[in-house]
Amino acid sequence: MSKRLNGTDTKDAEYPRDPFGWYVETAASVDQLADAIDFRDSLIWDPSCGSGNILDVFARRGHPTIGSDVIDRFKPGGHRFYRGSFLSCTKWPTMGERPLSIVCNPPYNEPAAGMAEAFIWRTLQLVPFYRAAFLVPLEFQCGQGRYEKFYAPKPAAGMRPSHVASLMERPSMPPGEMLSALGESCRKGGMADYCWIIYTAGGPYQTEHLFLRPTPEADLDLSARRKRADRNAGALPAIGTRTK
C-alpha cells in the first residue's frame, strides 16, 4: 500500500506508487465496517470508487449503490457511476426517501494527508449524509492541527466523529492497476495499521472507539503466512555460512 502522512512512508516497498493514489482495500475490511456500523437502508455512495470494491460489498448486503471518480474504471453492468471530482461536485446522489451514506477509501496521491482531509472536510461542510466513513491510516488521528480541525470538543469542521473503528488486521492494499492485472494473488501482508473514521448525522457525540476483529478467513490467512515465513526462515543459511 502506498499512503504517506506527515512525512511517514507506509508504503509496502514491493508495490509501485500509483500516480492517481488508487490503492484497493480488502473486501474483509469493508465487511468488518458494515458488521459493526448500522447504515440502515442507505444509498451508499463511494466518491473515490475505483473499480467499485466497496460498493460490491454493500450491494451484496442489499444496499443500492452509486460510485464516482475522476477516472472511469468500472466494468460494464456494475453499479451506477458518474465521472467527476468529489472536491468540485455540487450535487449529491439521491434515491427517493432513502438516507445517503458515504463510504470511501480516499485517494492517496501526494499530498496524501491533504487529500484525505479535503474529502472529510467537504463531506462535513456540504453533503447531507446519514453516515460517512473514511478508511485512513491510524496515524491520521494524530497532530495538533488535525485535532483542532476534526477532534476538539468544538472542531472547526463542525462535528466530531461518532466512531473510530480500528482494523485489528493490517489490510493489504496493492495499487489498483496491479490488482486488475494480477488479481488477488498480488496482495501481500499489510504493512500499516488502518481505521475507519465514521461521522453520523445529529450529535454532538463522544467518539466511540471500536476494535474490528479480523474475519475467520483473515485469521487463517495470517496463520498460513506466518507458517510460510517460519519455513522460509528455517531454510535460510546461518550467518557466516557459505552455500554452493
Residue 242 lies in a domain: no
Residues 6+ apart with CB under 8 A from 123: 102, 129, 132, 199
89 against 114, higher pLDDT: 89
pLDDT in tens, 100-142: 999 999 887 555 557 889 999 999 999 999 999 999 988 888 8
Count of domains for the chain? 1
State the CATH number of the domain containing residue 8: 3.40.50.150
User: Three-class SS of residue 8?
Assistant: strand
Comparing 62-66, 202-206, 219-223, 235-239, the range with the smallest average pLDDT is 235-239
pLDDT in tens, 140-179: 888 778 889 999 889 999 999 999 999 998 887 766 566 6
Looking at mean pLDDT, say which of 84-98, 176-190, 205-219 comes out highest. Answer: 84-98
Q: How confident is the model at residue 19 (pLDDT cuts 50, 70, 90)?
A: low
Residue 244 lies in a domain: no
19 against 116, higher pLDDT: 116
For residue 14, what pLDDT is reported?
A: 54
Residue 241 lies in a domain: no
pTM above 0.85, yes or no: no
Residue 166 lies in a domain: yes
Distance CA 21, CA 50 (A): 10
Q: How far is CA 13 from CA 50, 65, 67, in A?
A: 22, 34, 30
Please give the DSSP secondary-structure letter assigned to residue 149: I
Phi, psi for residue 239 in degrees, rounded to 5: -60, 130
Residue 240 lies in a domain: no
For residue 104, what pLDDT is reported?
A: 95
Range of the domain at 74: 4-235
- Average of per-residue pLDDT across 45-50: 93
> Largest Cα–Cα distance in the chain?
72
Residues 6+ apart with CB under 8 A from 230: none
